[in-house]
Chains A and B, each alone.
Chain A
Amino acid sequence: MPAAQAPARQPHPFQPQPWRDRRIEVILGNLLRTGVLISAAVVLWGACVYLSRHAHEPADYRIFRGEPSEFRTIPGVIQSVISGRGRGLIQLGLLLLIATPIARVAFSIVGFAIERDRMYVAFTLIVLAILLYSLLGSGLGV
C-alpha cells in the first residue's frame, strides 16, 4: 500500500495539511480553550448574581416575547453589566463565546499569510466578513 503513494510527492510549495508551523496549531487550540473558559466563567458569575436575586420568582418560557434591548444589543449589554445586572453578565459571557470562533478565523488569516497562501487568505476574509456582518449587521450593534 505505501508504495502506491510514492508518485504523489510533487514539487509543490504547499503542504496542504494542517499548519506547517506547529506553533499556529497550538496557539489556535489554546485560543479556543481560553475563550470558552473565560465565557463560561462570566456566565457562571452572572448566574450567581441572577439566581441570588430572582431564585423564587416563577419561571415561564411558554410565551415568546423577545428580549428587551438591554439583552440583545452590544451597548445595551454593556450598560446592564455596568449597572450590575446578572442577566447582563450572562449575555456578556455569551457574546464572548460567540466571539471565540470569530477570533479563531481572524487568527487563521495571519497563519495563511505567513504561509504565503493568498487564495486561503481570501477565503478566510470572506468567512470573516460573513461573521462580522451577522454580528454587527443584525441589530446587535445598535
Chain B
Amino acid sequence: MTILEFTAIVAIVSFVAGLLGSLTGLGGGVVLVPLLTIFFHVDIRYAIGASLVSVIATSSGAAASYVKEGFSNIRIGMFLEIATTFGALLGAFLATRIPTSALAIIFGAVLLYSAYLSRKPRPQAQRSLPPDPLATRLRMNGSFPDLEGPRSYNVQHVPTGFSLMFGAGALSGLLGIGSGAVKVLAMDQAMQIPFKVSTTTSNFMIGVTAAASAGVYLGRGYVDPGLAMPVMLGVLAGSLLGSRILVKAETKSLRLVFSVVILVLGLQMLYNGFWGKI
C-alpha cells in the first residue's frame, strides 16, 4: 500500500469511527486502536499514540458547545482532574514498559466492559440525597437546568470517585482512550452525579487527561506524524458532523450495532493478545 492509499483509507475509517462514536455517545477512540492494529497491522504503540491525539481533538471540539449549556460542573471537573492527570502520567510511563501483548489483553477487557455498559439502561434521576460533608467542603454540590427549572444535587462518596478517576486516568494513558466507561462508573454510580452533569463534565475532563499522557507519548517517539494526521483529522471531522446531525430516533439501533462492533473487536484483541499476535 502506498502512503497516499494508506492515508486515505485510515482517514475514512477514522471519520466513520468519529461519527458513530459521537452519534452513540460511546466515543470513537475506543474502536480506533483495535481497527488500526487488527486490520492495518499497525504496531499497537503507534496506534495508541495516534488515538490519544484524536481524543484531545474530539473532547476539546465538543467541550466548546457543552460549556455554554450550563450542565458541566467546573469544580467537580477540576478536582477530579488531579486524579486523572496523575493516573494518565503513570499509565503513559507504564505503557513504555509492559509488553504489547499485555496491552492488547487489557484493551480487550476494557472493550468488553464498554460493550456491557452500553447495553445497560442509563441510571434514572436520583432522589435528593443529604449533603455529604466532604463534598460540601469541596464546594461540589450544584444545580443544573431541568424541565421544571433548576434542579440541585448533592455529590456523594468523594474518595471512591477520586480513586476510580485515578484508574480511569491510568487506563487512558495506558491505552490512548478517553476512558468514558470508567468515568461514568465513578461519577454516575459512586458519586451519584446526575447523568447530564456527569457526561458533560467527563467530556471536558477527557481532553486534559489525554494531554497529560500525550506529552509523554510524543516525547518518547510514539506519535508518528504520517499516522496521527489522518486519524486526528478524520475523527475530528466525523465527530463534529455527528454532533450536528444527532437524530434521537435512530441512536437506539445505532448503539446496538456499535456495541456489537466493540464486543467483536474486544474478543479479537483478547485473542491476539493471548496468542502473541500483537
Contacts and interface: CB of A to CB of B under 8 A. Distances in A.
Contacts of A30: 64
A29 B4 contact: no
A139 B219 contact: yes
Contact of A64 (B45, B64, B88): B45
A43 B182 CA distance: 31
A59 B5 contact: yes
A91 B226 CA distance: 10
B143 to A, nearest CB: 6
Interface residues of B, number: 76
Interface string A98-133: 101110110010010000010110011011001101
Contact of A100 (B60, B219, B227, B228): B60
A43 B46 contact: no
B233 A40 contact: yes
B73 A18 contact: yes
How large, as a class, is the contact surface on chain A? 35 or more
Contacts of A25: 67-68, 70
Given A16-B75, A131-B211, A101 B60 contact: yes
Contacts of A133: 89
A49 B45 CA distance: 25
A56 to B, nearest CB: 5
Interface string A79-102: 000000011101100110110111
B42 A61 contact: yes
Contacts of A43: 229, 232-233
Given A97-B56, A101-B59, A101-B208, 19 more contacts: A5-B151, A16-B73, A18-B74, A29-B63, A36-B64, A55-B3, A58-B1, A71-B223, A72-B220, A91-B225, A94-B53, A95-B218, A102-B208, A117-B139, A120-B75, A123-B79, A124-B78, A136-B215, A138-B219
B140 A16 contact: yes
Interface in B40-56: 40-43, 45-46, 53, 56
Given A17-B143, A59-B2, A61-B46, A94 B211 contact: no
Contacts of B214: 94, 98, 134
A130 B85 contact: yes
Interface in B75-95: 75, 78-79, 81-82, 85-86, 88-89, 92
A130 B89 contact: yes
Contacts of A71: 221, 223-225
A140 B68 contact: no
B64 A102 contact: no
